[in-house]
Amino acid sequence: MSLLLSPNYIARHLAPGETIAYPTEGVWGLGCRPDDQQAVEKILLLKGRSWTKGLILVASELDQLTPYIASISEQQKLSIREFWPGAVTFLITKTDSVPTWISGTSDKVAVRVSNHPTVIELCNELGGPLVSTSANPAGEIAAESAAAVVQYFGTKINYICEGELGGHKGASEIRDLETGALLRAAII
């Protein structure tokens, strides 16, 4: 298996076009900087996923997401605080600065503030959010270990971060902040 590297090492060495795999709350994720179109396209190709579906941005704090989300009301902030930090992703109206390779065809962007220590450290070291999509080819079970990431992708991922899953089962729950609709339930 590939060498597992620290978030600090990855942040210092992550170059344009490069991708990482890292543990999240419930599954291993694939990620890169959200402004790196080449790296995003590489992730989509590895997964066999259409750009039209959009991708999640994960952050260590709400301020890291400010450039990507439109202003939200105080009531919406209260709703978010019920779940963040944690394993709930919200669809929020996007700003004009969100590229289509992140939002897909939607006028919203999927965002999450994580409580996972590895994700927090990666985002803090990189100075902003990361793309976060499950580490698996489309139609396959999401990776639950670094070994499973390597089995799926071999050396096509530039860095694999050290760390363990956060104790949740499966990918994050997804909710629409404006409507309150539950779009993907958490696995219990």
Tens of pLDDT, residue by residue, the chain (188 residues): 458 999 999 999 999 999 999 999 999 999 999 999 999 999 999 999 999 999 999 999 999 999 999 989 999 999 899 999 999 999 999 999 999 999 999 999 999 999 999 999 999 999 999 999 999 999 999 999 999 999 999 999 999 999 999 988 888 899 999 998 888 877 65
Q: Read off the amino acid at residue 20.
A: I
Give this prediction's pTM.
0.94
Architecture of domain 4-184: Alpha-Beta Complex (3.90)
The neighbour count for residue 142, using CB atoms within 10 Å, is 18
> What beta strand segments (E) does the chain contain?
4-5, 20-23, 28-31, 56-59, 88-93, 108-113, 130-134, 159-161, 173-176, 182-184
Determine contact, residues 138/76, Cβ cutoff 8 Å: no
